[in-house]
Structure 1
Amino acid sequence: MKLAIVALSAAALSATAGLAGAQETVKIGALMIDSGPLAAFYQYSTAGLETAVAEINEAGGINGRPVEVVSMTYSGAPEAALQTATRLVKNDKVAAITGMIPTAVALAIAGRATALDTIIIDPLSAAGTRCNQNYFRVKASTAMLGASYKAFLAQHPMESWDIIAGDTTSGHDNADSFAKDVQELGGEVRKQLFTPVPNSDFGTYITQLNQEPAKGLLAIIYGADGVTFAKQQQQFGLLDKYEMVLGNNFAIPAVLPAMGEAAIGVIQNVSYIPQVEGDGARKFSDAFSKIAGHEPDDVAFDMYTSMIALAQAMNKAGTEDASEVSKALEGLVIDSPVGPLEMRAEDHQLTRPYIFAEVVAGAPDSGKAVDYEIRTIIPAKDYMPPPSAECQM
């Protein structure tokens, strides 16, 4: 199914109309998933793209032409992603591709970026090292996630941990990285459990965790599965038995309302929440809310940032030619709602701060059952790991 995403604000529509009168649009392809465990991210992802389109077009578009997102849904399988990406490039003539690109898809599609002669900018996948002249990653890598957790753990030492994770590449990579960091800091990992994806019954795993729980628990369970786990553990008071519960893409904003009070006490690592202070953060939150009818989350932020990065790079290059845009993206300092973010030239990885926020009961006048309170923000300079030696462009 194909869907052209159009900016909704009156100002954006007016700006787009003025630009479109002279020239055709610059098309950006978006790979989107609207079913399965990742469907929880679809609405936030779509609204994040729309927010970026509105801002870009209000500022004059890309090289004086309005930007249009050509969105196509696919199953989430690597083969389907490759077929859809090829159609977007060959048939729709998109200048670049972004969207919902989970790890398995990214591992398959990154190597095809040069052959497709297009830029692929990835706002969703974290696991794996993959380097291609035309592939760039906005989402924090697994190494970055691990390094940020290690920095947090150094500030909040805990002698023992349990880990529960989805049985995926990302789940294993994140669990292994966390376990290694715990051991290097003098702690131990007692249980490391991996659950099927998707999964509707976590009873067996909750029972195992309930047996002599460690001091801390790391939950690496995504989307709808995360909601299911949170609700089912609440019946047994599992999270209350730990002194600290950390979430890795677990109690994220996209699913927090569905988790409700079952997630209270979880400390979640996020790249963006509306509680971030600053004019840029407020502007982004307000613009997103006008389109979506609710506040943005980190998924929306990453999708928005991927589009802003593409627009800034194409305007810097003065063209949509993939080779020139790739050069422009390398070392580009992107204006983002959380401040300047640099696209590292050596491995095409966006450097960024990380926020650790605790899930708390919502304020009485907020209309929210639960919300976040920021516990700490770790700047990129304080945790960012060096580029992988495996990355050779």
Structure 2
Amino acid sequence: MKKSPILFVTMFLLVVFLTACGNSAIQSTGSSNEQPSNNGTNEETDEQGVVKIGSILPFSGVYASLGKDLSDGMKLYFDQVDWEAGGVKIEMIEEDTEADPQVALRKLRKLMDQDQIDILTGAVSTAVAYAVRDEVDSNQLPYLASHAGGNDLTRAQRSDYIWRSSFSSWQIGHSMGAWAYENIGEKIYMAAADYAFGREVSAAFKEAYEAAGGEIVGEVYPPLGNNDYASYLTTIGSAEADGVYGFFAGSDAVRFVQQYEQYGLKERFPLIGSGWLVAEDLRESIGMAAEGAFVSTFWDYNLETAENEEFVTAYEEAYDRRPTIESLEGYDAARIIVEALTALDGDVQDPDKIVEAISEVEFVSPRGPIKFDQDTHHIIQNLYITETVVEGDRTENKILETVESVQDPGE
């Protein structure tokens, strides 16, 4: 029997069609495996077991060295736990804020939208921390502030999703007040860099010093980034005071302390202030002019505790340089994150549970015992009064007194 040409053509087309559908189905399945949808099980499997930590720090500009030290401190601790906690791997994604609030906002949005981070940390500049505050709060993003010390971050701008492991300007300034009255004298002249943090630290010192019975006999506020302090030092030199309280940091601190000696004030007025005045990374540049300074700080290289000696040794072995206070901040921030993840068994799906776990972390740090104030979300820690002394051909800070468990009032 002869087959109909029409029937033959129809059968041929049917085979081609079915073959094409089969190949298409195979190709579709392969494509799905390579690029699963956002709700696909394959993506969940790929992402499961990885926690993303976003870090916003300055790696360029005036605060670049602080950003690097914070970053290195974090990496040192993460290295020590093999970048794992609670059964999950830790991935840290760093962005350079340039210490610019608008740049920081753009980088934060990239971390949230593109990288889909689970936890945020960092910020050196208080202005940056304030700038990202609303984005963090509205997106319910757990944020562990690891340096920026502006008071309002845990006061007027307090958020359920922000906890701070570093310090507040109030802690730094207030801790020196009573000691200065008892050990320096009844009259103090104040000098501080003219920006928000400098003003806050000075106000906190003034509050504590006057409460102890002392009198502030004068105040000067040179601009940030000042090169010549001659006119200010001349004004201070004409005052009747028992000492001078100063808040300067970075290159400002180097120039102020050196010029303080050059203008003969060091011989007349003991210089007191915050730890950044004679910080670990500045004293070599300052030279012997730093000798005799008294400052308050929440950590020092020469703290004689097992925890600090272990940290210093590990840091120096890893980076071939001394740690700074920012290195310690990064190290502690990483440990807080690790302990929180461990308590959660690595489950970071609920931001409220993450911040709750962070809030409950407490341990003995290289700086001493630390824990969080549940009301302010701010760290409770020891502050130390140090004196800068000469040892051999360099200066070192010597611990004189411990002010225990300093708690920001949160007002």
Whether TM exceeds 0.5 here: the answer is yes
Which residue number corresponds to residue 311 of structure 1? 338
Moved more, 72-81 or 163-172: 72-81
Change (3 A) 1:36 1:268: farther
Q: Please say which structure displays the higher CA radius of gyration.
A: 2
Q: Give the corresponding residue for 2:221.
A: 194
* Separation in structure 2 between the aligned mates of residue 147 and residue 247 of structure 1, nearest angstrom: 10
**1:194 positional shift:** 0.9
Task: Give the superposed CA RMSD.
Answer: 2.3
Maintained 8 Å contact 1:334/1:340: yes
Report what 2:66 is aligned to. 41
Q: Kindly indicate whether the alpha-carbon contact (under 8 Å) linking 1:37 and 1:224 is maintained by their aligned counterparts in 2.
A: no
State the match for 2:75 in structure 1.
50
Q: Which amino acid aligns with 2:228?
A: D
Q: Following the alignment from structure 1 to structure 2, what is the Cα–Cα distance between the partners of residues 268 and 76? A: 26
Residue 67 (structure 1) shift: 2.1
Q: Distance in 2 between matches of 1:261 and 1:35?
A: 29
Tell me if structure 1 keeps the 8 A contact 2:168–2:408.
no
Q: 1:84 and 2:113 equivalent?
A: no
Residue 68 of structure 1 and its aligned partner are, at CA, apart by 2.9
Q: How many residues are matched?
A: 360
Question: 240-249 or 83-92: which moved more?
Answer: 240-249
Alignment partner, residue 296 of structure 1: 323
| TM-score of the pair, normalised by structure 1 | 0.85
Counting aligned pairs with the same residue, the percent is: 20
- Give the one of 54, 57, 62 matched to 1:29: 54
Match of 1:350 among 369, 372, 379: 379
Q: How far has the Cα of 1:23 moved from its partner?
A: 6.8
Post-superposition CA distance 1:322-374 (Å, at most 9, x none)? 22111112232134224431112111111110111111112x3xxx5111111
CA contact (8 A) 2:368 2:381 kept: no
Structure 1 residue 83 displacement after superposition? 1.3
**What's 2:170 paired with?**
143
Q: Is 1:121 the equivalent of 2:148?
A: no
- SS of 1:352's equivalent in the other structure is strand
The correspondence for 2:288, drawn from 250, 261, 275, is 261
The alpha carbon displacement at 1:24 in A equals 5.8
Answer whether contact 1:44 1:254 (CA < 8 A) is retained. Answer: no
Check 1:177–1:316 CA distance in 2 against 1; reply closer, same or farther (3 A cut): same
Deviation at 1:112, TM superposition (A): 2.4
Q: Taking structure 1 as reference, are residues 116 and 185 closer, same or farther at Cα in structure 2, changes over 3 Å only?
A: same
Listed as ranges, the gaps of 5+ residues in structure 1 are 1-20, 389-393
The verdict on how the C-alpha distance between 1:23 and 1:237 changes in structure 2, with shifts beyond 3 A counting, is farther
Distance 1:39 1:162, change over 3 A: farther
How far is the alpha carbon of 1:171 from its aligned partner?
0.9
Partners of 2:63 and 2:290 in 1: CA distance:
19
1:22, distance to aligned residue in structure 2 (A)? 11
Contact 1:218 1:245 in 2 (8 A): yes
Pick closer, same or farther for the CA change 1:240–1:117 going to 2, 3 Å.
same
1:212 aligns with 2:243: no
Tell me, yes or no, if the aligned pair for 2:380 and 2:408 is still in contact at 8 Å. no
Normalised to the residue count of structure 2, the TM-score between the two structures is 0.81
Q: Which residue of 2 aligns with 1:320?
A: 348
Q: Which moved more, 1:97-106 or 1:282-291?
A: 97-106
Helix, strand or coil for the counterpart of 2:85?
Answer: coil
Write the deviation string for residues 8-61 of structure 1: whole angstroms up to 9, x where unpaired: xxxxxxxxxxxxx9976432122121344423423322321221221232xx71
84, 96, 102: which is aligned to 2:125?
102
Counterpart of 1:165 in structure 2 is 192
- Distance in 2 between residues matched to 1:228 and 1:204, nearest whole Å: 14
Give the C-alpha shift of residue 248 in structure 1: 4.8
Structure 2: gaps spanning 5 or more residues: 1-45
Q: Which residue of 1 aligns with 2:302?
A: 275
Aligned counterparts, 1:210-249, within 5 A: 210-212=237-239, 214-249=241-276
> In structure 2, what is the Cα distance between the partners aligned to 1:338 and 1:212?
37
The aligned counterpart of 1:65 is 88
How far is 1:250 from its partner? Answer: 1.6
2:173 and 2:274 in contact (8 A); partners too: no
Aligned to 2:253, the other structure's residue is in SS state helix
Structure 1 residue 204: Cα displacement = 1.9
- Measure the CA separation in 2 of the matches of 1:293 and 1:185: 43
Q: Secondary structure at the match of 2:158?
A: coil
Alpha carbons of 1:94 and 1:335: their partners in 2 closer, same or farther (altered >3 Å)?
Answer: farther
Instruction: Give how far 1:62 is off.
Output: 2.1
